[in-house]
Amino acid sequence: MSDDGKCTCPAARRVATRRKMQDKWRRSPRWKALLEKHAHTQEAVCVYCGRHHNQPWINSKGDERITRLTINHTSRHLYASEDLYLTWDPRYMEITCLSCNRQYERGMKPCPSCLKKGKLSYILDREPECWSCYYEAHPEEKRIKDETRERFEKSVKDYNAGRAEKRRKEKVSHPCTHHRIGGWCGLSAIHSQCQYSKTKALKPVPVGCAESIAKKRLVKKA
């Protein structure tokens, strides 16, 4: 990082320069003409989700969105030059919506089962369907999963309850009034742990703690 806050990594600079150049390509009249001819027509549809250009749809949050179609370059060789990028090649170019185009770069595709229901969710390209659709088709598997999770959550609660009970017993059994649940000293502003065991806390220094005060039940009456 330079003094003026700009990145000096050669690889990062190349990526930034490359992106600026590609943004310039997508602002050119040739790219806009390519979209109008192949993507922004009534016949054009996204090859993955089947939506048309300017078609309204509802996302998973219930908000309405408008479909925008674009051209996806399936071969990285088309990024080698501006002419290759802006020349239509049906072998290595396809029509997709902006959403599917972004997910394509992440190795994702729409769930085919969700598309049949009029919904849109993305899954890994090698997966046949999303988890929701899988469990809907296999209710027994969902029951087993729910029961397993309930047992796990119960075991976690039981473990935490046991630990809490152990801390409470330790606090009660410790003879110093400053000893808190969890083993920290009440005189510490930063919750430092008590350094003395319950058998040595009330003993004289240097074995015991000079700040320790015995609990009332341990103080003998005169």
Each residue of 122-176: pLDDT tens digit? 999 999 999 999 999 999 999 999 999 999 999 999 999 999 898 888 878 888 9
Which three-class secondary structure state does DSSP give residue 167? helix
The C-alpha atoms of residue 65 and residue 218 are separated, in whole angstroms, by: 72
Rg (CA), the chain: 33
Average pLDDT score over residue span 67-78: 94
Single-letter amino acid code for the residue at 154: K
Question: How does pLDDT run across 91-122, given as a tens digit for each residue?
Answer: 999 999 999 999 999 999 999 999 898 888 89
Where does the pLDDT of residue 2 fall: very low under 50, low under 70, confident under 90, or very high at 90 and above?
low
Rounded mean pLDDT of 79-94? 94
Q: What is the pLDDT of residue 173?
A: 87
What pLDDT was estimated at residue 6? Answer: 64
Digit-coded pLDDT (tens) for 175-188:
899 988 888 899 99
Q: What is the pTM of this model?
A: 0.65
DSSP 208: S
DSSP class per residue in 55-96:
-EEE-TTS-EEE--EEEEE--GGGGS-HHHHTS--TTTEEEE
Say which residues have a Cβ less than 8 Å from residue 119's Cβ, sequence separation at least 6.
Answer: 60
Q: Is the pLDDT of residue 7 over 80?
A: no
DSSP 95-152: EEEHHHHHHHHTTEEE-HHHHHTT---EEETT-SS-HHHHHHH-HHHHHHHHHHHHHH
Would you say residue 5 has pLDDT above 70?
no
Q: What's the chain's average pLDDT?
A: 89
